[in-house]
Amino acid sequence: MKKLLIFVFITLLSLTAYSKTDIEDKLIAQIPTLSGYESLECVQAGDGFVLSLTFEDKNPVRLNVREDGTITDYFEEMPPAANNRKRLPSVSKAEASEIALQFVQAAAADIMNQINTQIYTNTYDFSSECYNIRYARNVNGINYPADGINISVHGRAGRVVRFYRIWSSDIDFVPVDEIISHSNAEQKFKENIGLTLRYGRKTENSRVVAYPMYVPSNTDSIDAVSGNAISPVPVRSAEGYHEMLALFKKNIPSGAPELEGEIEEGLVSGRDARLYASKIRELKIGGNYTPQQAKYYKNPSGEYLITLDFSNLIHRISVTLNARTLDIIGFLNEETAEKPSGNPIDKEIIKKSANNFLLNYKTEYMDQLAPPIITAAENGDKKACAVTYERIVNSLPYKSNYIRFFINSQGDIISMSSLWDNIDFDSGEDIINPDMAYDIFFKSVGLRLVYMRTGGSKAEPVYTVNPQIPAVIDAKTGLILSYDGKPAKPGASLNYVGLDEHYARQPATVLADCDIFVSQGNVVLDDAILQKNFIAMLSCIVPEEMPVYNKQSGITDEELEMIYSVFLTKGVLESSEIMPDGFVPRAEAVKYLLRAVGYKNVAELEGIFKIPFMDAHKIPPSHYGYIALARGMGLISGSGGYFYPSQNLTNADALILIYNYLRYNN
């Protein structure tokens, strides 16, 4: 090993006072498993080096190392799993936390005095089979969320496979000797930021509904010394048109995505829509652009839209129109986006371009538009601005509806996007008064003290809105709402009632370490499980990617709807079987699980299965293969020789079923 290191560290010796032996000893002391390598390559990168080590009987390792030997990034290349099936870890969450802490104490000893090891996050990821742990940076007793240590412990190998530190060295933390009190910060929040009454947007029974709500007026924070508001730098991406289309694609009519002609009486044809679009001067559809196929969508209000693409050898222009009225909903010109921007930004030119477009094509909307908000926009390395006109209804802002432009420094419109709901609005009467809204906000959401980088090399203590709880208050009921407009589910610690003596103790404990559990709060293991809870648990173990939801705060109605939608597409269950608040018969539960993980075709083969249960005659023929397969895989065992297919699945049995499937994969 020493012989190999002489070659590797020649460059190091010319740049640092540390000798090759010093660095070698430091690395091995921090991570003893690095000893005994077979080969090592070193590449200089910035102020440090990237080291790649291979071993005869271990996985390759890559490290980013500073000149003094400090490790900033460590990555062990684990072999890919044989398939995408989820497996149980071999170490517990508590054991993973201890392994992570020992590694951090060795690899980050120089910053241990600023790592909060008492409060940290630890979540399990089935895809990487790792516990992912994050320690935040803590200075003067205050967290600095932008910095921290991220570490991954492999759940089956029981060792650290990834470590990286995000740690600003060029930053000065303002002392906290003279910060204002929490109660004073609340008063300053009311004076300098405040809550605003506006309309929110939610979906009920596939219909868009507007509702009045109180939310913070902006994303500012309160300077913990002066009490003034501090604003982050707003930057918008120029991808607004694509975001708009992504929303519409959730509402594609059956059979319509590639439809060229009419799909309903009164809709314009693709030919007529193209002819109209080509006459819109701002789109700049020249003769070198060739029209592509038309696509029809529905917007959230149920109105038909048509999207047209035009392309040349290099660029594409896309435009979306109302398929009945030809009203312009949005467009994107890639050629304009790539146009050089030598001119400095002139906001008057930017605003004039946007206003002229509105006057020419959106006149009927202008009496409901607030004055434009102009902010910097991301457009690669080219200069651009976002111009946003938010909708005003009944004198209240409705920020979910808007017309937005991205315009380059020459005043050319890169893209335009809009969202405009054709709905009735609540009059705004019978709402709670602002004082009551503030009481609810400070009690249920609140402010938290953190460090925030405010420019240059200085980080200041600020009071910011607690990001752990949605800062949305229903202006009629005073309830805290999730961002989907539904009542927020209060965070509650999981408590399986009677777990210590229960036969499901081990499955429940192991799955909880993997962030799989029935629901939140007090859960009676012998109660029947609700279908929505079982479906959410199944979403955690399927081989494919599924909609992600926050396990700690609970699943929202919108997230649950997305999971049901995926399972409908996969054929896990039929639309007639969806009963979120209903119970799940045991035979149905087995069917759902095996369909979700890819055994549907096998389970539905006829005439090849035998079932040893004495009540096999009570199992529906359509479920016979599923029950037999589950019995053969060891997922179910029955009780006293009986399976009881029509009995409702309990919370405990749901945990055991999923635990047995994951154990089978092991």
Q: What average pLDDT does the structure give for the chain?
A: 87
Q: What number is the average pLDDT over the span 144-172?
A: 94
- Residue 3 gets the label, from left (phi > 0), alpha (psi -120 to 50) or beta, of alpha
**Is residue 434 included in any domain, yes or no?**
no
Range of the domain at 74: 2-168
Percentage with pLDDT > 70 across the chain:
89
Q: How are beta strands 160-166 and 71-76 bridged, if at all?
A: antiparallel
pLDDT band at 287 (very low <50, low <70, confident <90, very high): confident
- Residue 15 gets the label, from left (phi > 0), alpha (psi -120 to 50) or beta, of alpha
In the predicted structure, residue 15 carries a pLDDT above the cut 50: no
- What's the pLDDT score for residue 256? 41
Task: Output the 3-class SS for 322-357.
Answer: ECCCCCEEEEEEHHHHCCCCCCCCCHHHHHHHHHHH
Contacts 24+ apart (CB under 8 A), 157-162: 157/78, 157/90, 158/90, 158/91, 158/95, 158/96, 158/99, 159/33, 159/76, 159/99, 160/74, 160/76, 160/99, 160/100, 160/103, 161/75, 161/76, 161/78, 161/130, 162/74, 162/75, 162/76, 162/130
Which of 476, 518, 482 is CA-nearest to residue 497?
A: 518
Helix then strand then coil, % of the chain, to nearest 5: 30, 30, 40
Do 412 and 547 lie in one domain? The reply is: no
- What's the pLDDT score for residue 257? 40
Which of 288, 362, 356 is CA-nearest to residue 329?
A: 362
In the predicted structure, residue 612 carries a pLDDT above the cut 70: yes
Domain count, the chain: 3
pLDDT band at 585 (very low <50, low <70, confident <90, very high): very high
In the predicted structure, residue 73 carries a pLDDT above the cut 50: yes
In the predicted structure, residue 81 carries a pLDDT above the cut 90: no
Do 240 and 338 lie in one domain? The reply is: yes
Spatial distance between the Cα atoms of 200 and 435, rounded to a whole number of angstroms: 20
Question: 637-646: per-residue pLDDT in tens?
Answer: 989 999 999 9
Q: What number is the average pLDDT over the span 319-324?
A: 94
- With residue 147 as reference, give the H or E element that holds it: strand 142-154
Do 156 and 241 lie in one domain? The reply is: no
Select, from the ranges 26-35, 40-49, 507-516, 542-551, the one with the highest average predicted confidence (pLDDT): 507-516
Do 260 and 376 lie in one domain? The reply is: yes
Contacts of 83 (CB under 8 A, 6+ apart): 543
Would you say 93 and 122 are in contact if contact means Cβ atoms under 8 Å apart? yes
Residue of higher predicted confidence among 546 and 539: 539
- Residue 543 gets the label, from left (phi > 0), alpha (psi -120 to 50) or beta, of alpha
In the predicted structure, residue 627 carries a pLDDT above the cut 70: yes
Half-sphere exposure of 663 (CA within 13 A, CB side): 15
pLDDT band at 154 (very low <50, low <70, confident <90, very high): very high
- With residue 11 as reference, give the H or E element that holds it: helix 10-15
In the predicted structure, residue 7 carries a pLDDT above the cut 50: no
In the predicted structure, residue 258 carries a pLDDT above the cut 60: no
- What's the pLDDT score for residue 12? 42
**Is residue 205 included in any domain, yes or no?**
no
**Is residue 518 included in any domain, yes or no?**
yes
**Is residue 228 included in any domain, yes or no?**
no
pLDDT band at 539 (very low <50, low <70, confident <90, very high): very high
Q: What number is the average pLDDT over the span 41-70?
A: 87
Do 259 and 408 lie in one domain? The reply is: yes
- With residue 185 as reference, give the H or E element that holds it: helix 182-192
In the predicted structure, residue 271 carries a pLDDT above the cut 50: yes
- What's the pLDDT score for residue 85? 82
In the predicted structure, residue 262 carries a pLDDT above the cut 60: no
- What's the pLDDT score for residue 84? 74
Spatial distance between the Cα atoms of 163 and 26, rounded to a whole number of angstroms: 17
**Is residue 447 included in any domain, yes or no?**
no
Q: What number is the average pLDDT over the span 443-455?
A: 92
Do 146 and 6 lie in one domain? The reply is: yes
Choosing from 117, 141, 168, the residue where a domain stops is 168
